[in-house]
Structure 1
Amino acid sequence: MKMQLAKWREEFAGEIAVYANNKKIGDNLRDGFPFPYTEKDALEYIRGCTEKEEKGQFCRAIILDGLPAGSIGIFAGTNIYKKSAELGYWLGEP
């Protein structure tokens, strides 16, 4: 199995929607992660990641054997949390 990280691209939306449409994933993430998860949700997520990149955040697709299968990001805190960051990720089930 080959794993790599890649910048998010809108062409990943269909594959990510399949993996993300899993209640077990949403149950282990923040409340904002929708279920059911649609391709529209995936496009909104990808666009949000792209916007965060422009603001210095780190957000990447997890690619397994050439296909997007999850997401990982580092999100810097602001205001009173400016000296901290959050690392988050999810990986789809086969």
Structure 2
Amino acid sequence: MSSAVERIEQTRAALGVALAECDWEKVAQLDLECRRHVDNAMLEPIDDDSELRQSLEGLLRLYRDLVQAVTIQRENTAEEIARVSRAHKGAKVYQLFG
């Protein structure tokens, strides 16, 4: 396994852990690291690109999961903000007539 593929695999594994733990700061940090490793892998000469292709396909699957998780998190956050806003407006109305 080439060093570029090893770095991608290690970062992908760490990114998977961060995603499972919903550690969004770590996800952001590892995302940047992944991008650097992929850029470097594209520049590194490789005799057999099958390992790199498999590694990148695994990374792509993880990013699909990541996008899905972030979308769900964003929707949950939007719902929570809307709920708090309604509660705040209700409290204001209660204060006006209370």
Fold match by TM threshold 0.5:
no
Q: Which protein is richer in helix relative to its size?
A: 2
Q: TM-score, normalised by structure 2?
A: 0.31
Q: TM-score, normalised by structure 1?
A: 0.32
Larger Rg computed on CA atoms: 2
